[in-house]
């Protein structure tokens, strides 16, 4: 795609300039393009390169972001144990930099992975953490995701009244966005 070609050009320039933080950012942006295309292996490879650079400079935001995206890829590939591991690393990096938005998002990721793994109690534990932070900091997009996952979880468990309640909350938040 033209976006991935532009990122390749940027990578060449940043490599010539020895601008490692920009290289890592470009790896991450390139991975986003491949994630959107469903090419998870290529995205994974770019994220691992970005993560290596971020670890060398102890750039916590980059470490959290790359691990969060690796978690998303792992959920999409139904590799739930890896997803949980990546999200937990992202949570720790987000905690170290007092990033409550990141923490809420990554807690949701862990909850989603546990839900898909059919470990419903663990899913609820992490969804509760995501819900609490997203409500405390008025993070509507994350609230919407959390309520949608709760709805699916409760539907799966046959708790239809709770599923309807979460669906109503999902719609309320969605309409506020």
Cα separation, 169 vs 80, in Å, equals: 27
pLDDT tens for 76-107 read 999 999 999 999 999 999 999 999 999 999 99
Weakest-pLDDT range from 57-61, 110-114, 162-166: 57-61
96-146 pLDDT tens trace:
999 999 999 999 999 999 999 999 999 999 999 999 999 999 999 999 999
CB count within 10 Å of CB 30 equals: 24
Tokens representing 26?
A: 């470009």
pTM over 0.85: yes
Is the pLDDT assigned to residue 14 strictly greater than 80?
Answer: no
């Amino acid at each position: 795609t033209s976006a991935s070609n532009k990122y390749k050009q940027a990578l060449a320039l940043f490599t010539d300039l020895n601008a490692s933080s920009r290289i890592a950012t470009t790896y991450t942006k390139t991975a986003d393009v491949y994630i959107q295309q469903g090419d998870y292996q290529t995205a994974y490879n770019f994220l691992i390169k970005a993560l290596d650079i971020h670890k060398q400079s102890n750039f916590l935001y980059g470490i959290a972001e790359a691990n969060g995206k690796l978690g998303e890829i792992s959920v999409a590939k139904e590799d739930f144990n890896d997803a949980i591991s990546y999200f937990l690393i992202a949570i720790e990096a987000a905690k170290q930099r007092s990033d409550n938005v990141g923490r809420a998002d990554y807690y949701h990721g862990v909850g989603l992975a546990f839900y898909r793994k059919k470990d419903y109690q663990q899913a609820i534990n992490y969804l509760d953490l995501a819900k609490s932070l997203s409500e405390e900091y008025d993070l509507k997009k994350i609230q919407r995701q959390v309520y949608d996952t709760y709805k699916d979880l409760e539907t799966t468990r046959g708790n239809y009244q709770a599923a309807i309640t979460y669906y109503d909350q999902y719609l309320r938040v969605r309409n506020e966005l």
